[in-house]
Amino acid sequence: MSLEDLKEIPYGKTAIELKNISLAFGGVKALTDVSFDVKKGEVFAIIGPNGAGKSSMLNVINGFYKPTSGTINFAGTDRNEMEPELAAKSGIARTFQNIALFKGMSTLDNLMTGRLLKQKQNFLMQALYVGPVAKEEEEHREKVERVIDFLDLQSIRRTPVGSLPYGLQKRVELGRALAMEPEILLLDEPMAGMNVEEKQDMSRFVLTVNNELKTTIVLIEHDMGVVMDISDRIVVLDYGKKIGSGLPKEIRNNKAVIDAYLGVSDD
Amino acid sequence: MIYKETGQYKSSYKSDHAIFPLLQDKIAFSTLMFIAFLIIPFVINSYWEKAILVPFLIFSLAAIGLNILTGYCGQVSLGTGGFMAVGAFSTYKIMTYFPDMNIMIIILISGLITAAVGIIFGLPSLRIKGFYLAVATLASQFFLVWLFNKVPWFYNYSDTGQITVSERTMFGIPVTGAEAPSYATYLFCLVLVVTLSFAAKNLIRSKMGRSWMAIRDMDIAAEIIGVPPLKTKLSAFAISSFYIGVAGALYFAVFLGAIEVTESFDIMTISFPVLFMIIIGGLGSMLGSFLGAAFVVTLPIGLKFLMVDMVGLSAVTAKHFEITIWGLLMIVFLIVEPHGLARLWSIAKEKLRRWPFPY
- Using the beta-carbon criterion (under 8 Å), do B17 and A141 form an inter-chain contact? yes
Element (H, E) at A28: strand A28-39
Cα nearest neighbour of B196 on chain A: A127
pLDDT attached to residue A2 = 44
Q: What is the CATH T-level fold of the domain A1-91+182-267, as seen in this structure? A: Rossmann fold (3.40.50)
Compute the distance between CA of residue A46 and CA of residue A242 in angstroms, rounded to an integer: 10
Cα→Cα distances A23→A28, A31, A58, B271, Å: 9, 5, 12, 46
pLDDT attached to residue A53 = 87
Q: Which residues of A124-161 are buried (b: 16+ CB within 10 A; e: fewer)?
A: ebbbebeeebbebbeebbebbbebbebbebeebeeebb
Higher-pLDDT residue of A82, B94: B94
How many Cβ atoms are within 10 Å of B180's Cβ, its own excluded? 23
Compute the distance between CA of residue B30 and CA of residue B39 in angstroms, rounded to an integer: 13
- Using the beta-carbon criterion (under 8 Å), do A138 and B220 form an inter-chain contact? no
Interface residues of B toward A, Cβ cutoff 8 Å, are 12-14, 17, 199-200, 202-203, 205-208, 210-211, 213-214, 216-218, 220-228, 235, 239, 284
List the strands of the sheet with A241-246, edge to edge: A92-95, A184-188, A216-220, A43-47, A233-238, A241-246
Say whether the peptide bond before residue B356 is cis (omega within 30 degrees of 0): yes
- Using the beta-carbon criterion (under 8 Å), do B226 and A126 form an inter-chain contact? no
**In this model, does residue A1 exceed pLDDT 50?**
no
**In this model, does residue A221 exceed pLDDT 50?**
yes
Cα→Cα distances B69→A255, B236, B242, Å: 57, 5, 11
Q: How far apart are the first and last CA of chain A?
A: 54
Average pLDDT of adjacent 10-residue blocks, chain B of 359 residues: 70 78 85 90 84 92 94 90 93 90 92 94 86 89 91 85 82 82 90 94 90 90 87 93 95 89 84 89 90 90 82 81 84 83 84 74
Out of A80-84, A168-172, B193-197, least confident range: A80-84
The CA distance from B185 to the nearest CA of chain A, in Å, is: 25
Element (H, E) at A33: strand A28-39
Task: Provide the residue ranges of all domains of chain A, joining segments of one domain with +.
Answer: 1-91+182-267, 103-179
**In this model, does residue A3 exceed pLDDT 50?**
no
pLDDT attached to residue A267 = 60
- Give the HSE-up count for residue A21: Cα atoms under 13 Å, Cβ half-sphere: 35
**DSSP code, position A105:** S
Q: How confident is the model at residue A239 (pLDDT cuts 50, 70, 90)?
A: confident
Would you call A204 helix, strand, or coil by DSSP? helix
